[in-house]
């Protein structure tokens, strides 16, 4: 039987990725969650000398307990400020739009609006869209939690299943690339988590000192949006800037100054310190990756673009630049990959590596 040409196999694979892109991105997000849970449970297991399963249960319980504590202390304030922010922002935007329309250049930029209020059918469509969005969001969260927890509990069968699709002669090297990606993603995730906490805290405190309303919820938003490099911080500062601009131009300048200081510190101090072992992505590549995946898969693609491309860069360096082009790659990356494979040889990789590698 004549085998399929490789280009046909590649074309079919690309078609499947295109069709199932949204699902694959949700699975990748679940993998990121599994990396976090698996790493935390590993630390707890080593520190308290507990079985891995008990350590994972303890970690999940601690996270839920911490979330409940934070919710009890701050949820009412955050909910109240969120409602106020949702009410204030449209009003502020409307006022600013009216101001801009007073100038000819403003009317040229904004264009003429129809001025018609939404009719009943449009309101029904908006309500239907909101319901569909909420259902999609709940489904996505359920998939991410399901994948993340199951992979954190027992990743071995899935890793071995992937490696069994690889010829025996290449399994060890593919395993090294796989665990190098894992190592880089772990470094990126925990570094980004530290940056999110620092940026959110400093932004909230700074806005409160400046006198911007709703500083708490704006600081929380700044911390959450920090997960998405480049695009996230720009989006996060817009609500604070609009609210400050509604008060006075001077307050808006203070918000811009605060944002500039925080982002400069994040770019040149925080990120280099907390993500020293993560792969470096040039800013242009980061923006192109975010725009491309955002266009292909919407908000989910925008959120996971950077870690996904970072993992792809690691695999490319090891399997193409080093193995095929015979060019030198980061020796620390190679050493980390070998160390990860040695640790996993008797767990996740048991029975799939060539004899002598286990």
Coil/strand/helix, residue 214: coil
- Count how many residues are written for the chain: 358
Q: What is the pLDDT of residues 27-37, one digit of tens each?
A: 999 999 999 99
Pick the more confident residue, 172 or 11: 172
Question: What would the DSSP string read from start to end of 45-75?
Answer: HHHHT--HHHHHHHHHHHHHHHHHHHHHHHH
Average pLDDT value for residue range 332-357: 75
Q: Is residue 278 a contact partner of residue 306, using CB atoms and an 8 Å limit?
A: no
Q: Of 70, 49, 68, whose CA–CA distance to 60 is shortest?
A: 68
> What pLDDT shows up at residue 148?
92
Q: Is residue 347 a contact partner of residue 166, using CB atoms and an 8 Å limit?
A: no
Q: Is residue 44 a contact partner of residue 50, using CB atoms and an 8 Å limit?
A: yes
Q: Given pLDDT bands bounded at 50, 70 and 90, which one contains residue 263?
A: confident
Q: Please report, for the chain, the start and end positions of each structural domain, with discontinuous segments joined by +.
A: 24-93+137-154, 170-352
Q: What is the pLDDT of residues 267-317, one digit of tens each?
A: 777 777 766 556 667 778 888 888 888 888 888 888 899 899 889 988 888
Indicate whether 169 pLDDT > 90.
Answer: no
> What pLDDT shows up at residue 97?
73
CA 72 to chain centre: 26
CA–CA gap between residue 148 and residue 28 (Å, rounded): 9
Long-range contacts of 308-314 (CB under 8 A, 24+ apart): 308/25, 308/28, 309/281, 309/285, 310/184, 310/185, 310/188, 310/278, 310/279, 310/281, 311/181, 311/184, 311/185, 313/279, 313/281, 314/177, 314/180, 314/181, 314/184, 314/279
Percent of the chain with pLDDT over 90: 16
Q: What is the pLDDT of residues 115-134, one digit of tens each?
A: 444 444 554 555 555 556 66
> What pLDDT shows up at residue 76?
78
Q: Given pLDDT bands bounded at 50, 70 and 90, which one contains residue 342?
A: confident
Average pLDDT value for residue range 330-336: 79
> What pLDDT shows up at residue 117?
43
Q: What is the pLDDT of residues 170-219, one digit of tens each?
A: 888 888 889 889 988 998 898 889 889 999 999 999 999 998 888 888 89
CA–CA gap between residue 279 and residue 309 (Å, rounded): 10
Indicate whether 238 pLDDT > 50.
Answer: yes
Average pLDDT value for residue range 237-257: 86
Q: What is the dihedral of CA 10, 11, 16, 17, to 10 degrees?
A: 70
Coil/strand/helix, residue 281: coil
Q: What is the pLDDT of residues 30-88, one digit of tens each?
A: 999 999 999 999 899 888 888 888 999 999 999 989 888 877 877 777 777 777 777 77
Average pLDDT value for residue range 315-325: 88
Q: Is the full-model pTM beyond 0.75?
A: yes
Average pLDDT value for residue range 93-105: 70
């Amino acid at each position: 039987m004549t085998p399929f040409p490789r280009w046909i196999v590649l074309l079919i694979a690309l078609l499947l990725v295109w069709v199932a892109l949204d699902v694959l991105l949700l699975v990748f997000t679940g993998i990121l969650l599994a990396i976090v849970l698996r790493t935390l449970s590993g630390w707890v297991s080593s520190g308290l000398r507990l079985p891995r399963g008990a350590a994972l249960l303890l970690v999940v319980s601690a996270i839920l307990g911490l979330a409940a504590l934070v919710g009890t202390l701050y949820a009412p304030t955050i909910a109240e400020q969120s409602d106020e922010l949702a009410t204030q922002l449209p009003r502020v935007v409307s006022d600013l739009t009216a101001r801009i329309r007073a100038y000819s250049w403003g009317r040229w930029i904004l264009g003429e609006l129809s001025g018609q209020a939404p009719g009943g059918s449009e309101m029904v469509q908006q309500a239907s869209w909101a319901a569909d969005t909420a259902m999609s969001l709940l489904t996505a969260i359920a998939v991410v939690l399901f994948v993340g927890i199951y992979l954190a509990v027992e990743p071995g069968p899935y890793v071995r299943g992937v490696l069994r699709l690889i010829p025996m002669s290449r399994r060890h090297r593919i395993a090294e690339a796989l665990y190098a990606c894992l190592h880089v993603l772990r470094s990126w995730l925990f570094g980004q988590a530290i940056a999110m906490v620092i940026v959110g805290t400093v932004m909230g405190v700074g806005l409160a000192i400046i006198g911007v309303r709703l500083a708490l919820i704006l600081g929380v938003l700044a911390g959450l949006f920090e997960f998405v490099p480049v695009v996230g911080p720009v989006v996060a500062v817009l609500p604070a800037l609009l609210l400050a601009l509604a008060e006075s131009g001077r307050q808006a300048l203070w918000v811009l100054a605060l944002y500039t200081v925080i982002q400069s510190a994040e770019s040149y101090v925080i990120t280099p310190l907390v993500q020293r072992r993560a792969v470096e992505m040039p800013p242009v590549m980061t923006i192109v990756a975010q725009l491309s995946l955002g266009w292909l898969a919407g908000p989910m693609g925008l959120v996971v673009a950077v870690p996904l491309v970072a993992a792809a860069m690691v695999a490319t360096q090891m399997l193409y630049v080093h193995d095929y082009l015979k060019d030198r790659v980061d020796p620390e990356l190679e050493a980390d990959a070998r160390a990860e494979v040695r640790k996993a040889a008797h767990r996740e990789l048991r029975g799939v590596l060539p004899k002598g590698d286990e």
